Amino acid sequence: MNAAIDFPWLALLAVLTGPAIGGLYLWHHRRRLRRLGELGGDAAIERLTPAVARQRPVRTLTRVGAAASLAVIALAGPRWGDGTVVGRQRGVDVVIAMDASVSMQAEDERPSRLERMRQEVRRYRAAAPGDRNALIAFAGRSYVLAPLTLDNGAIELFLDNFDPSIVGFAGTALAPTITQGTELLKAASGSASRVLLILSDGEAFDDHDAAIAAAQEAKAAGISIVAVGFGTEDGGTIPVFENGEMRELRDDAGEVVTTRYDPTLLKRVADAAGGEFIGAGESDRAGRIQRALSRLDAEQRNVEENLSRPLRLGWFLIPAILLLLVDAWRADGGEAARLRRWLRWAVPVFALTILPTTPGAVAAVAAPVLLVPRAAAAQSPVKLHEQGRYTEAAAKWRRAIEQGDKRMVTLYDLGTALLNADSLNTAEDALDRAQATPETAVRRRALFNLGLTRLKRAMRPDNPERARAAEGALAAYRQLLMETPGDDDARWNYEIALKIKQSGSGGGSREQPRQQPQESQQASPQENQPMSRQQAEQLLAAASRDERDTQARKQANTRMQRPPGGKAW
């Protein structure tokens, strides 16, 4: 356990405090008995002071000594584990548009333009926890990866997996990116200022006038644009992975491509929107971003912040108070009455002053009364998934896996949430691992969603690997149908994938694929109308013949689709 103590010497003192308090109490009790013994014998003491005569000093000194030790341990400042605290922060609404073009892999800015961009985004977000962020990836096209949210896990999930393959369309087009970011911010609620943060190397091959016009429309909508550059004007080559080895990207003429940082369009876009341009030569771009946003109007928000090793005072203070309460109720006589009156005032004062500043103590007090399982369930990834908040659910399942959850059902849930969030590449990886489980129900559902992930990729007309994705979907559904011949939904999706593969186009079928019910956490497979094994075998045999006939036409080109008339980087 990752534990620490603010004042270790007090923790050592706690070991001596209990025996010392207990010994002092025992000495005081015996002294009282000796003084009372001067007034008469045991019968007189029993008649005059029955409470003292019946008192069991060992039990009392044990309770009081333990309470004193626990209080000193709390005073020492014990810390362990991870926690969160909700604080008030001021922030604005920011759509972060990140360049995912192939040129961002150039290493003229170390370790690469792409990695440096990720670093600056993380630094900015750490400096402005009150900002509500959305995430857009753009290259030849733009895609919304995450809507406006305060959930750090949701944004980090996509930052971790951000690379050119997330878009799958080469080139750099700023105009549609600005338009999409503007629409996202127009729909935002609240009084905070709205900002479109564009991070790019500026090497755009689309219509510059269209980008300027989109920036002017953003300004008319009250949206500022902050443009940030990456790369160097001397430029660098672009490393790409082809045929099992790393090479430098070449153009159609066979010449090595050199990509160069071009600030011209980024400056014009920022000026057209009345925003700010931050050049690639700035040493602290994240700081400049934060300062630019700090000048805008912000609104107060409740922000949940992660804590490393928070104070755990309540785990020791609450038992200490309970021990004193038990001792008070077991006592009798004038002293007990005075103690009860003192506790009647002390406990509410303690609850109103100490507990609100001590997350651990609040949890310790609330747990028996408020039923922690029900409170935790309100924030569970299952509930988030049922509400359609797939990105947040995926972030929580990813966090559970990172914290040691090795169950295949959790991996399946992560992949299903990513599938529903349309993050197909990462969903496929999770579901492919989940379908290897020996648990029959989980394996079948993972196979179904694995096939659905590949089928969705095959149905995208801009995907250069449609045939390969269709073959992958066929393989997943073929395996599922051999186990469950009566799964009509799997058969339906299988036939769609088969049509796509035969036509060689994502438009080969107009039917929409079927999905499983949006369930998670070991949900049972749905019941379907039965289909005979003979029918399933006939279907699979036809698919096998088709696969043999089309094997020679298998696409091997792994490059991203080139934009019409544009450059492939």
Q: Which residue, among 185, 276, 293, has the nearest Cα to 227 in the 3D structure?
A: 276
pLDDT the model gives residue 366 = 40
Choice among 120-134, 218-232, 501-515 with the minimum mean pLDDT: 501-515
First to last CA, the chain: 48
User: With bands split at pLDDT 50, 70 and 90, how would you rate the model's confidence at 188?
Assistant: confident
Asked whether 124 and 289 are in contact (CB, 8 A), the reply is yes
Asked whether 476 and 454 are in contact (CB, 8 A), the reply is yes
Q: Which residue, among 154, 100, 92, has the nearest Cα to 124 in the 3D structure?
A: 92
How does pLDDT run across 258-301, given as a tens digit for each residue?
999 999 999 999 999 999 999 998 888 999 999 998 888 766 65
Q: Which residue, among 193, 393, 156, 367, has the nearest Cα to 275 in the 3D structure?
A: 193
pLDDT the model gives residue 330 = 64
How does pLDDT run across 393-410, given as a tens digit for each residue?
888 888 888 888 888 888
Rounded CA separation 422/434 (Å):
18
User: With bands split at pLDDT 50, 70 and 90, how would you rate the model's confidence at 384?
Assistant: confident
pLDDT the model gives residue 4 = 78
Asked whether 120 and 285 are in contact (CB, 8 A), the reply is yes
> How many CB atoms are located within 10 Å of the residue 380 CB?
15
Q: Three-class SS string for 56-68?
A: CHHHHHHHHHHHH
Choice among 261-265, 300-304, 439-443, 472-476 with the minimum mean pLDDT: 300-304
Average pLDDT of the residues in 320-333: 71
How does pLDDT run across 84-113, given as a tens digit for each residue?
555 556 788 999 999 998 889 999 998 899
DSSP per-residue letters across 248-316: E-B-TTSPBPEE----HHHHHHHHHTT-EEE-TT-S-HHHHHHHHHHTS--EEEEEEEEEES-B-THHH
pLDDT the model gives residue 552 = 35
Handedness of CA 364, 366, 368, 370 (dihedral sign): negative
Non-local CB neighbours of 70 within 8 Å, separated by 6+ positions: 14, 316, 317, 319, 320, 323
Q: Report which DSSP code applies to 18.
A: H
* CA distances (Å), origin 486, targets 452, 482, 524, 527, 532: 17, 10, 15, 8, 7
pLDDT the model gives residue 401 = 87
pLDDT the model gives residue 560 = 46
Q: Is the pLDDT of residue 127 over 90?
A: no
- Compute the half-sphere exposure of residue 466: CA atoms within 13 Å on the CB side of its CA: 22
- Compute the half-sphere exposure of residue 2: CA atoms within 13 Å on the CB side of its CA: 8
Average per-residue pLDDT for the chain: 75
Q: Report which DSSP code applies to 355.
A: G
Rounded CA separation 154/418 (Å):
11
pLDDT the model gives residue 158 = 83
pLDDT the model gives residue 177 = 93
pLDDT the model gives residue 350 = 53
Non-local CB neighbours of 233 within 8 Å, separated by 6+ positions: 260, 261, 262
Higher pLDDT, 76 or 276: 276
Q: Which residue, among 231, 203, 230, 201, has the nearest Cα to 108 in the 3D structure?
A: 231
Q: Is the pLDDT of residue 65 over 60?
A: yes
Domains present along the chain, CATH in parentheses: 3-80+315-373 (no CATH), 86-297 (3.40.50.410), 418-553 (no CATH)
Burial class (CB in 10 A: 0-12, 13-18, 19+), 34: exposed
Rounded CA separation 445/419 (Å):
13
Task: Please report, rounded to a whole number, the percentage of residues in the chain having pLDDT higher than 90.
Answer: 18
The pTM assigned to this predicted structure is: 0.48
Asked whether 485 and 479 are in contact (CB, 8 A), the reply is no
pLDDT the model gives residue 535 = 47
pLDDT the model gives residue 217 = 94
Choice among 275-279, 415-419, 440-444 with the minimum mean pLDDT: 440-444
Q: Which residue, among 522, 312, 310, 362, has the nearest Cα to 437 in the 3D structure?
A: 522
Give CA angle at 422 (420, 428), nearest 5°: 85
Non-local CB neighbours of 221 within 8 Å, separated by 6+ positions: 182, 185, 186
How does pLDDT run across 5-64, given as a tens digit for each residue?
888 888 888 888 878 887 887 787 778 777 766 665 666 555 555 555 555 677 777 888
Higher pLDDT, 417 or 532: 417
SS3 497: helix
User: With bands split at pLDDT 50, 70 and 90, how would you rate the model's confidence at 544?
Assistant: very low
Q: Which residue, among 155, 139, 134, 133, has the nearest Cα to 104 in the 3D structure?
A: 139
Phi, psi of 224 (to 5 degrees): -90, 155
> How many CB atoms are located within 10 Å of the residue 292 CB?
18
Q: Is the pLDDT of residue 565 over 50?
A: no
